[in-house]
Amino acid sequence: MLQETGTPSETRRSGLRRWLTKPAVQTAYFVALLAVTAYSLVREQGDLPDLFSRLDWAMVGLAALVAVLDTLFYVYIQHTIYRGMGVRLTFRQVFSIVCPSQLGKYVPGKVLMAGNYYLLSRQVGVDAREIGSSFLVSTALWIVSAVLCSLPGLASLSPVLRLGSVLLAVALLVTIHPRVLSRLFRVLAWALRKLKLGSLAGRFGEPLALPYSFYLRTLLLYLVAWAGVGLQVWLLVAAVQPVGAAALPVSLAAGAIGTVVGFVALFAPGGIGVREGLGAVILAPATAAEPALLAFVLLRVMTVLADLAFGGIGLFLGRREKRERAGQR
């Protein structure tokens, strides 16, 4: 908790923090995020009823199963990142942090996603230093691994987008280098002190000195997670028309780069429209345009449903654990 210094500004900030951490306020906040996510799903319906008659529902079911497993694997990656930083959280605790946080990506700007991650991590006792380091490292390696997976489809992109993807990956790798990250944290602490937020600045201190093996292991885990996304895209294409294994690399590239570009497009809630359009363009050479677009629309539907379901479960688990901790006092 932020320590009060006695000044009016610190007292107001402390009062605001207590208000924001009230169960009723937090529940209303996440219900609003669920409503925004559900609205995103309704907007994606379009002409899907007319196209469903062509689907092989067994393939769609397999893709949905892979989506569920991939979501759980993503939580496992975050759990591994926190444990690599010395933060001892259970898988259930990380699940209750990550899954509700994902709902914030459906609000333009993606700021609420980071805000959710910080707020929920603080509730289980994670220091700001570990939260900042884990979020930066996780996001950077998630994007870098996506760029690596997109190599089979980079030729389909415009030169500007192709160069931008590579430069973004390089910039992120530089940013999470231990020395660079240390300087960034020192600058952040200095800025917070200038804003008379000394108690918060003290929480950041120095970022953790993480070994290179930690970065490599996390990168490999993300490559496995992206393989799951590529398999989902391939299965959804196969649900519309026969497709060979040769389409798997392009499916992987389309799913990875489409998702990342949609993520960095701050104006698009959840990357809606961006991922579908770009993914279909990359995938189209390996199949027809219509099956490619249908595959990504179905992927969007599955993604939103998974975010809603796992976000709700994560919120429930978080509330239950908070009651359990209160009962032990």
User: What pTM value is reported for the model?
Assistant: 0.81
| Contact predicate 73/224, CB 8 Å | yes
The reply to whether 44 falls in a domain is no
Residues 205-213 have a mean pLDDT of 75
CB atoms within 10 A of CB 269: 21
Mean pLDDT of 128-145: 90
Residue 34 lies in a domain: yes
Domain presence at residue 45: no
> Predicted confidence band at 180 (pLDDT cuts at 50, 70, 90)?
confident
Higher pLDDT, 110 or 132: 132
* 48 part of a folded domain: no
| In a domain? residue 213 | yes
Q: Could you list the residue range(s) of the whole structural domain that residue 243 is in?
A: 24-39+56-307
* Residue 70 near residue 306, CB atoms below 8 Å: no
Is 108 a domain residue?
Answer: yes
Task: Check pLDDT > 80 for residue 146.
Answer: yes
Token pair belonging to 187:
């600058």
User: Residue 295: inside a domain, yes or no?
Assistant: yes
Domain count, the chain: 1
Query: Rounded CA gap, 258 and 249, in Å?
Result: 14
CB atoms within 10 A of CB 249: 16
Taking CA atoms, 289 is separated from 41, 124, 177, 279, in Å, by: 22, 47, 41, 11
> pLDDT per residue over 77-94, tens digit each?
999 999 999 899 999 999
- For every residue of 99-147, DSSP letters joined together read HHHHGGGGSTTSHHHHHHHHHHHHHTT--HHHHHHHHHHHHHHHHHHHH
Domain for residue 12, yes or no? no
44 pLDDT tier (thresholds 50, 70, 90): very low
